């Protein structure tokens, strides 16, 4: 049941709207409830081939040999693909934003790093024939030692999971084996605190379990193009990833999707698009590759596990004065998107509370399990579990009601967050108050009167002096316990504020009056008056070409460099790598 | 042997859109000669309602009836670039791009109407029912349809618009973690009531009560769908799911829905949501996005309620009967916490 509380923050809104805010029926609802909506797998093609994978049965092994000769002769088999058939057989998803190093093959070549890793792809006239031929592929393996625990993986001497990152951690800023957050002096604050409370939390891996499993249908089209029916959560993300791996210009791929049977983050990885397109290119036939439920459950990249240590300094009056978090993302064998989540998690620390001294060290660790990926709440869900269980413990230690304890420590407008930006537009206090009221959980008059609009800023808006350290240098696990090396003065910021968004939304909630400068509008030109006597409009364009602008200087030719088909969107901070 | 009731709470916030920005969305809008609009995107509708959110925002900004707007997504030949449907970014990022495109199209629409009515376009308003008229003079009017026909066949104007929304990418400081992560944050608090059986260790979620602050609600029905569905996922994460039951031991992975535990219809708890709207300064009509956060407070609220019921802290998810029974045994019996409040103020 949903109830709107319009009176709260009413003075910040103009509710005089026509259709925004109304519960009108979705345009796609009739199709969904009559089962006429078309998903990627609702497209039939003559001569469709079916693609099935031979996957690694081992968690970690060197591939000694692959023999596909019997499979190639099997009935119905049209083509067998190995790693050497993949044009660009090493990729990392975030290479599209220049973040991280290519570390994952589409089909394994020298070794397998997790159970279920794709090794060989079989294309056959029917699913049954592809599955039968799968049994005829002979792969010989030499087993390698495995590591499954994130903290074990980071110890010196642990088996190397992914040679691109030989320390079993993602490398941040080409300097550190983790992402740091430093705000104030947590050690000094722990020493002053009345209670210091530390606990370990473990988020489990989770399967996305979409109704529609991952899959793709790709078909050769006219003009050397390929039509691709995709279930991707990011259409161009998948298109550009595919263009890179099969090494074609992006406009040779025509992706169609947009209506997806559940994603929850599990359809960001382009698990099926590249191989399906490659199969269509190499056979000239339409190809369908869909994960079955067992593949989706076991090898369809889950929400990664996270191990989180939270240490808090608490005063008797209930104020939290310091928080330190050490956390490990279990990436599995390849990076996928875990490197991004660790930074998002760093931005989220210490949760929606105002704490004057905060630090965190967030690691991305490689283990011999199926690579994990984004899932609903990526980088946040697990740490929220840890923080809110910890908050319950702190309230008990301070002998306070947990609701009152949240309101006391809640961040408010004007407070400085540990990533050195001021909180605005906050509303945690009001949410806690309303939830308590509806649940009939009594709170004090003081807690009831609290507001996100007051009590923040001032001293709470200051950036404190902050000790810095060189702990955890890449390739030097011996540096993980070093001392502070310098103190950053109070008030220091080093990252420029973000520029204004390229377009700001309509703050007043009204359609823009037409005299507002129109966004990206072309220069105004007055068309010639309409006069059929002069010439029929079909023979004369209504608009005359504008007076020709001065020619732009011709930029010097860019030096030739090898470039794959994918477009690079932008570049991300200090880890720019090609 | 008995069942013990307990109550726990959690409060959270959630960042809207990709962390650090750098995640553009584009939209194209055009009218056919009858004044019916198509919004072309490459955003993905995963069931969350991306098409309908874009449609309502487009209709509101254009000032036309919702029936006159349809959203076409996602075809890479016709829909312009969008980063994708993840990171709770759809409403905020794409909504702003749709506003930008719709503003431009509306500008041409009103120019064309002004030419037909021989008035200044700045004096025109729309009634949201398919008519354009002079402000304060409803009789000086023209329909959107007649305007579109005049624009196409007489004036030679394209009633169309382009839009993009981009928060420029932020750098991250290696030593301090300083960054510009996000511009909009949503908020929530949730109270969970559970019952724990001290003989079987089973947890039943009796009811949940929450308050969410989501900026402007674009469509309350779809917000309800997200928050209720997400709360079910939260119960499932807290008490049932994992593909690695003995993590970090990788064995015993489930292969299908018979082996992968999830709550069934009988495990769905009554749930009351109150929604607050503090508009985001840079959101479309102030909108944020409820997509991801709706499971987050459920996990710790249930864990805290279990502790309140029987005195056992389960810090490793999922909270299985085995872990609860082991905890009760380690504590030397059930240790209920203080009662918190009375019966909920909703039915």
In a domain, A108, yes or no: yes
**pLDDT score of A565 more than 70:** no
- Using an 8 Å Cβ cutoff, are A494 and B174 in contact? no
- Domain boundary residue, one of A260, A281, A299: A299
A156 and A290 share one domain: no
Per-residue pLDDT reduced to its tens digit, A423-477: 999 999 999 999 999 999 999 999 999 999 999 999 999 999 999 999 999 999 9
In a domain, A570, yes or no: no
Query: With an 8 Å Cβ cutoff, are B304 and A402 in contact?
Result: yes
In a domain, A16, yes or no: no
Query: With an 8 Å Cβ cutoff, are B10 and A391 in contact?
Result: yes
Separation between Cα atoms, residue A435 and residue A446, nearest integer Å: 16
In a domain, A252, yes or no: yes
B83 touching A, CB under 8 A?
yes
pLDDT value at residue A342: 98
Per-residue pLDDT reduced to its tens digit, A9-65: 999 999 999 999 999 999 999 999 999 999 999 999 999 999 999 999 999 999 999
A307 and A202 share one domain: yes
Report the run of H or E that residue B325 belongs to, with start and end: helix B321-330
Per-residue pLDDT reduced to its tens digit, A363-410: 999 999 999 999 999 999 999 999 999 999 999 999 999 999 999 999
pLDDT value at residue A536: 42
Lowest mean pLDDT among A247-251, A565-569, B227-231, B311-315: A565-569
In a domain, A411, yes or no: yes
Peptide bond into B318 cis (omega under 30): yes
Shortest distance, CA B90 to any CA of chain A (angstroms): 11
pLDDT value at residue A533: 52
**pLDDT score of A526 more than 80:** no
Q: Percent of chain B beyond pLDDT 90?
A: 97
Q: Which ranges of A144-198 does DSSP label H, i.e. alpha helix?
A: 150-153, 186-192
Neighboring chain A residues of B14 at a CB cutoff of 8 Å: 377, 380
pLDDT value at residue A531: 54
The answer for A520, left when phi > 0, alpha when psi is -120 to 50, beta otherwise, is: left
CATH number of residue A133's parent domain:
3.90.1170.50
Residue A141's CB: how many other CB atoms inside 10 A? Answer: 17
- Using an 8 Å Cβ cutoff, are A108 and A83 in contact? yes
Per-residue pLDDT reduced to its tens digit, B160-189: 999 999 999 999 999 999 999 999 999 999
Q: Which two tokens stand for residue A112?
A: 């397998």
Per-residue pLDDT reduced to its tens digit, B117-140: 999 999 999 999 999 999 999 999
A159 and A281 share one domain: no
pLDDT value at residue A570: 41
In a domain, A354, yes or no: yes
A199 and A60 share one domain: no
A228 and A343 share one domain: no
pLDDT value at residue A501: 76
A202 and A306 share one domain: yes
B51 touching A, CB under 8 A?
yes
A283 and A163 share one domain: no
Q: pTM of the prediction?
A: 0.92
- Using an 8 Å Cβ cutoff, are B276 and B212 in contact? yes
Neighboring chain A residues of B112 at a CB cutoff of 8 Å: none
A262 and A311 share one domain: no
Residues B78-103 have a mean pLDDT of 96
Interface confidence (ipTM) of the complex: 0.98
Averaged pLDDT of chain A: 90
A272 and A177 share one domain: no
Residues A241-270 have a mean pLDDT of 97
Mutate to test the interface with B, among A97, A463, A498, A566 (most CBs of B within 10 A): A498
Shortest distance, CA B316 to any CA of chain A (angstroms): 5
DSSP, collapsed to helix, strand or coil, labels residue B322 as helix
CATH number of residue A393's parent domain:
3.30.365.10
Report the number of distinct structural domains present in chain A.
Answer: 3
Residues B326-335 have a mean pLDDT of 98
Q: Percent of chain A beyond pLDDT 70?
A: 87
A188, HSE (Cβ side, Cα atoms, 13 Å): 10
pLDDT value at residue A92: 97
A408 and A484 share one domain: no
**pLDDT score of A355 more than 50:** yes
- Work out the pLDDT band at A513, boundaries 50, 70, 90: very low
Query: With an 8 Å Cβ cutoff, are B122 and A403 in contact?
Result: no
In a domain, A439, yes or no: yes
A85 and A192 share one domain: no
Q: Could you list the residue range(s) of the whole structural domain that residue A437 is in?
A: 401-461
B322 touching A, CB under 8 A?
no
- Domain boundary residue, one of A416, A443, A461: A461
Averaged pLDDT of chain B: 96
pLDDT value at residue A524: 52
In a domain, A504, yes or no: no
**pLDDT score of A508 more than 70:** no
Query: With an 8 Å Cβ cutoff, are B103 and A516 in contact?
Result: yes
Query: With an 8 Å Cβ cutoff, are B191 and A435 in contact?
Result: yes
A475 and A359 share one domain: yes
Structural domains in chain B, sorted by start: 3-15+182-330 (3.30.365.10), 25-165 (3.30.365.10)
Of A203, A374, A384, the CB nearest to B86: A374
Residues B292-305 have a mean pLDDT of 98
Give first-to-last CA distance, chain B, whole Å.
30
Residues 6+ apart with CB under 8 A from A331: A170, A304, A338, A339, A364, A365, A366, A367, A371, A372
pLDDT value at residue A260: 97
């Amino acid at each position: 049941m949903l109830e709107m509380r319009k009176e709260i923050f009413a003075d910040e809104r103009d509710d005089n709207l026509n259709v925004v805010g109304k519960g009108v029926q979705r345009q796609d609802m009739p199709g969904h409830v009559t089962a006429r909506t078309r998903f990627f797998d609702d497209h039939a093609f003559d001569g469709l081939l079916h693609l099935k994978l031979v996957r690694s049965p081992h968690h970690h092994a060197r591939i000694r040999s692959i023999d596909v000769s019997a499979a190639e002769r099997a009935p119905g088999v049209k083509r067998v693909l190995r790693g050497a058939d993949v044009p660009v057989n090493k990729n990392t998803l975030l290479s599209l934003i220049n973040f991280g190093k290519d570390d994952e093959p589409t089909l394994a070549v020298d070794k397998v790093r997790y159970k279920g890793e794709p090794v060989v792809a079989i294309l056959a006239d029917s699913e049954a024939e592809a599955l039968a031929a799968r049994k005829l592929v002979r792969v010989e393996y030499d087993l390698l030692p495995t590591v499954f625990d994130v903290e074990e993986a980071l110890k010196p001497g642990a088996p190397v999971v992914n040679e691109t990152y030989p320390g079993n951690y993602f490398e941040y800023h080409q300097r550190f084996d983790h992402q740091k957050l430093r705000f104030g002096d947590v050690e000094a604050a722990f020493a002053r605190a009345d209670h210091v409370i530390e606990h370990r939390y473990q988020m489990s891996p989770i399967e996305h379990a979409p109704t529609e499993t991952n899959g793709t249908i790709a078909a050769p089209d006219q003009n050397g193009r390929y039509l691709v029916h995709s279930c991707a959560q990011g259409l161009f993300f998948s298109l550009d990833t595919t263009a890179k791996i099969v090494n074609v210009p992006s406009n040779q791929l025509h992706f169609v999707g947009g209506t997806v049977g559940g994603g929850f983050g599990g359809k960001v990885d382009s698990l099926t698009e590249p191989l399906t397109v490659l199969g269509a290119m190499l056979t000239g036939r339409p190809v369908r590759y869909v994960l079955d439920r067992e593949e989706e459950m076991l090898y369809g990249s889950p929400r990664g596990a996270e191990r989180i240590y939270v240490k808090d300094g608490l005063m008797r009056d209930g104020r939290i004065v310091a928080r330190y978090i050490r956390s490990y993302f279990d990436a599995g064998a390849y990076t996928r998107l875990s490197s991004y989540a660790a930074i998002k998690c760093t931005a989220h620390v210490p949760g929606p509370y105002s704490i004057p001294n905060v630090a965190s060290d967030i690691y991305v660790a490689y283990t011999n399990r199926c690579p994990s990926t984004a899932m609903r709440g990526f980088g946040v869900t697990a740490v929220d579990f840890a923080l809110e269980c910890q908050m319950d413990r702190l309230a008990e230690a301070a002998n306070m009601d947990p609701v009152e304890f949240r309101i006391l420590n809640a961040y408010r407008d004007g407070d400085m967050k540990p990533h050195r930006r001021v909180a605005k537009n906050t509303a945690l206090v009001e949410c806690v108050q309303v939830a308590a009221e509806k649940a009939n959980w009594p709170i004090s008059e003081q807690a009831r009167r609290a507001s996100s609009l007051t009590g923040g800023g001032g001293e709470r808006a200051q950036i404190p002096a902050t000790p810095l350290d060189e702990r955890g240098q890449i390739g030097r696990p011996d540096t993980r316990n070093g001392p502070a090396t310098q103190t950053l003065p109070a008030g220091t910021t080093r990252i420029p504020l973000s520029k204004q968004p390229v377009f700001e939304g309509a703050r007043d909630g009204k359609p823009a009056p037409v005299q507002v400068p129109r966004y990206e509008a072309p220069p105004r030109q007055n068309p010639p008056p309409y006069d059929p006597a002069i010439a029929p409009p079909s023979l004369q364009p209504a608009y005359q070409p504008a007076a020709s602008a001065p020619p732009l200087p011709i930029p010097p030719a860019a030096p030739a460099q090898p470039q794959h088909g994918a477009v690079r969107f932008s570049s991300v901070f200090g880890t720019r790598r090609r | 042997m008995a069942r013990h009731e307990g109550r726990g709470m959690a409060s959270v916030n959630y960042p809207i859109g990709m962390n650090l920005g750098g995640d553009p969305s584009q939209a194209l809008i055009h009218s056919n000669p009858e004044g019916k609009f198509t919004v072309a995107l490459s955003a993905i509708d995963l069931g969350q309602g991306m098409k309908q959110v874009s449609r309502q925002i487009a209709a509101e900004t254009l000032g036309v009836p919702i029936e006159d707007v349809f959203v076409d997504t996602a075809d890479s030949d016709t829909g312009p670039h969008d980063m994708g449907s993840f990171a709770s970014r759809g409403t905020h990022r794409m909504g702003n791009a749709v506003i930008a495109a719709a503003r431009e199209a509306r500008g041409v629409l009103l120019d064309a109407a002004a030419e037909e009515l021989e008035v200044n376009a700045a004096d025109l308003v729309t009634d949201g029912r398919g008519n354009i008229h002079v402000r304060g003079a409803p009789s000086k009017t023209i329909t959107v349809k007649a305007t579109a026909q005049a624009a196409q066949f007489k004036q030679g104007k394209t009633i169309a618009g382009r839009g993009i929304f981009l928060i420029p990418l932020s750098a991250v400081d290696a030593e301090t973690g300083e960054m510009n992560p996000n511009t909009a944050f949503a908020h929530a608090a949730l109270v969970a009531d559970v019952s724990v059986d001290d003989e079987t260790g089973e947890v039943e979620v009796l009811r949940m009560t929450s308050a969410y602050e989501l900026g402007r609600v674009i469509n309350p029905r779809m917000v309800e769908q997200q928050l209720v569905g997400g709360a079910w996922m939260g119960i499932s994460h807290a008490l049932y799911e994992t593909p690695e039951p003995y993590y970090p031991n990788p064995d015993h992975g489930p292969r299908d829905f018979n082996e992968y535990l999830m709550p069934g219809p009988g495990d769905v708890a009554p749930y009351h949501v109150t929604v607050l709207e503090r508009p985001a300064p840079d959101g479309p009509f102030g909108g944020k996005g409820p997509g991801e956060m709706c499971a987050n407070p459920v996990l710790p609220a249930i864990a805290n309620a279990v502790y309140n019921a029987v005195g056992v802290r389960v810090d490793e998810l999922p909270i299985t009967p085995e872990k609860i029974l082991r905890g009760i045994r380690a504590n030397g019996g059930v240790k209920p916490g203080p009662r918190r409040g009375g019966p909920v103020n909703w039915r």
